[in-house]
Amino acid sequence: MEIRRVGASGLRVSRLGLGTMTWGRDTPDEEARALLEMFCAAGGTLIDTAAAYGAGDAERLIGKLVRELTNREEMAIATKAGFVIRGGKRIVDTSRRALLRDLEGSLERLGTDYVDLWQVHAWGDAPLEETLTALDFAVERGMARYVGVSNFVGWQTAQAATWQQAVPGRAPIVSAQVEYSLLARRAEVEVLPAAAAFGLGVFPWSPLARGVLTGQYRGGVPRGSRAASDHFAWFVEPYLEQRSRGVVEAVARAADGLDMSPMQIALLWVRDAPGVTAPLLGARTAGQLAPALATEELALPPEIASALDDVSGGANAGRTAS
């Protein structure tokens, strides 16, 4: 698999990442094993997780499988801190104490001395300078090689990057993780331009619009899908509205014309969008992951990419400029 540089940093990762939000919960251990084996065999190196995923169980499983299946030094493990779910409520705590406590727990669960990329999971109420001192500490102590932010809007991304660049010796922000797909293009307004201005890599999460761009919901909600589950239905429902259907149908038509699956069309559009480092694949089964990995030798014709731009919200300024 092609390896890409994360922004202007020295970190290099595969151009597709393996997302693990469902590990330790909806993805059984043996299925996770099959996913990681397949991903590594295809040359994938980036595994993205978080302290909050499966209440820490995703990290435990990753640590176990990495030790059993591959060489830790060959993998780029990214995790996140500052966000938890307690009593069904989402709690964001980006204080220095909470972040470092999360990181210590992540390292223990992962069974490693360091993570390759440590990210603040969300913007919080703690003073930004306090949050960022935790990132400095983690890099200084060798607990994290690089640091980034996740789910920050444009001005938040720019403020964090500016603060870290202002004084020599601070750990620079090297990446931004944000939702980005044909059904979620808000990142193009501010986040992607901010990332480009500050030399940050971009990791799109949910590049398939929470599964909707695969076309599986064209005829209703299938049994066993995320939209059919009690704890993930809320996650999918925003993209099941009428306004999304035209985009899904356009993706399906492109797939028919290019002899690809809708999933592959949607993934290629994100993977090769300007500024993107690596989309994060949230596959729950090896059967879902295989066609995504099969896109390595594929690319969208420019006219198809532009047509999808138009139908999903307008021309991509970055693509036009390039």
Q: What is the pLDDT of residues 113-135, one digit of tens each?
A: 999 999 999 999 999 999 999 99
Query: Topology of domain 3-210+273-299, per CATH?
Result: TIM Barrel (3.20.20)
Domain ranges of the chain: 3-210+273-299
Name residues whose C-beta falls within 8 Å of residue 71's C-beta, 6 or more positions apart in sequence: none
The count of other CB atoms within 10 Å of the CB of residue 258 is 15
Residue 17, φ and ψ in degrees, nearest 5: -110, 155
Using CA atoms, how far apart are residues 282 and 19, in angstroms rounded to an integer? 5
Residue 160 has pLDDT above 90, yes or no: yes
Give tens-digit pLDDT for 21-36.
Answer: 999 888 999 999 999 9
Which residues participate in catalysis according to the annotation? 53
Using CA atoms, how far apart are residues 114 and 258, in angstroms rounded to an integer? 43
Output the six-digit token pair for 269.
């559009």
CA-based R_g, the chain, Å = 19
Q: Which residues does residue 142 pair with via DSSP β-bridges, in sequence order?
A: none
Residue 320 has pLDDT above 90, yes or no: no
- Averaged over 302-322, what is the pLDDT? 86
pTM for the model: 0.93
- Averaged over 257-275, what is the pLDDT? 97
Output the six-digit token pair for 195.
């990332």
Give tens-digit pLDDT for 171-223.
Answer: 999 999 999 999 999 999 999 999 999 999 999 999 999 888 988 767 666 56
